[in-house]
Amino acid sequence: MNPLNPPSAKSSGLQRSALVASLAERRWLIFVLLVILSLLSLMVFTALHWAAMPPSRVEKIDVKSVHLRGEFIESNLGTAQEASGRVVVRLVAQQYSFVPQCLVVPEKTPVTFRGTSTDAIHGFLIGKTNANTMLIPGFVSTFTTTFEQQGEQLMPCHEYCGVGHEAMWAKVQVISREEFQSRMQREERLNCVSR
Ligand code: CUA
């Protein structure tokens, strides 16, 4: 302290509040650094332990011609079996329905879903499975899952997409492998939409 210039009561009060402020600042700095560190360690943990990775294979599609040509024309939607035996379901989401409204899949078989949207962002979620993603205009979303039990599952849109969102849902019928194979021999594309 400079003896020639003793601090007045006012300036020592100012010094004290500056000290309090700098201590508070330091506390918050440490707190924020801890939050950042814990988030970073969560990322490292999920990356290593669950092999979670950012999407590496982004598929784009021209949203204006989805209906007209290519993979998602109406006659190509539904469940198909490729030459390799892989079961692939193709679907389109639009305000406010899925096409097809009712999907057929075999049990105990890996099923790959390929979907896109023609307008808003829609949600894709199948009842009691881990299938959960978003259908986004201009992109193809894929998800592979296996259905362990026969029966019917609900497939609601779970991403708010407009006034009709709550009425937007479809069904998934899980049938036995034998029934699936016999139906697949009769038809090229399967769905369970009643006509
Ligand atoms: Cu589609 Cu909500």
Query: Are residues 31 and 66 located together in one domain of the fold?
Result: no
Question: Containing domain of residue 160, as a range?
Answer: 59-186
Q: How many domains in the chain?
A: 2
* Cα of 118 from ligand 1 centre, angstroms: 12
Q: Check if 161 has its Cβ closer than 6 Å to any atom of ligand 1.
A: yes
If asked whether residues 63 and 30 sit together in one domain, one would say: no
165 CA to centre of ligand 1 in angstroms: 4
The answer on 115 and 30 residing in a single domain is no
- Is 28 found in the same domain as 65? no
pLDDT at 102: 94
Helical ranges in the chain per DSSP H = 9-49, 177-186
Please indicate, yes or no, whether residues 147 and 128 belong to a single structural domain of this protein: yes
CA distance 91 to 80: 11
CB of residue 171 inside a 6 A radius of ligand 1: no
C-alpha 106 – ligand 1 centre gap (Å): 26
The yes-or-no verdict on residue 27 having pLDDT over 80 is yes
Q: Ligand 1 atom closest to Cα of 95? A: 1
Q: Is 70 in the same domain as 137?
A: yes
- Residue 110 pLDDT greater than 60, yes or no: yes
Ligand 1: distance of its center to the CA of 160 in Å? 5
Q: Is the pLDDT of residue 112 over 90?
A: yes
Say if residue 107 is in the same domain as residue 64.
yes
The pLDDT value recorded for residue 12 is 85
Can you give the pLDDT at residue 4?
A: 58
Query: Whole-prediction pTM value?
Result: 0.72
The CATH number of the domain where 93 resides is what? 2.60.40.420
Residue 52 has pLDDT above 90, yes or no: no
**Quick check: is 15 in a domain?**
yes
Judge whether residue 7 has pLDDT over 80: no
Task: Kindly state whether residue 180 falls inside one of the protein's structural domains.
Answer: yes
Q: Is 144 inside a domain boundary? A: yes
Q: State the pLDDT confidence band at 46, using cuts at 50, 70 and 90.
A: confident
Question: Looking at the domain assignment, is residue 162 inside a domain?
Answer: yes
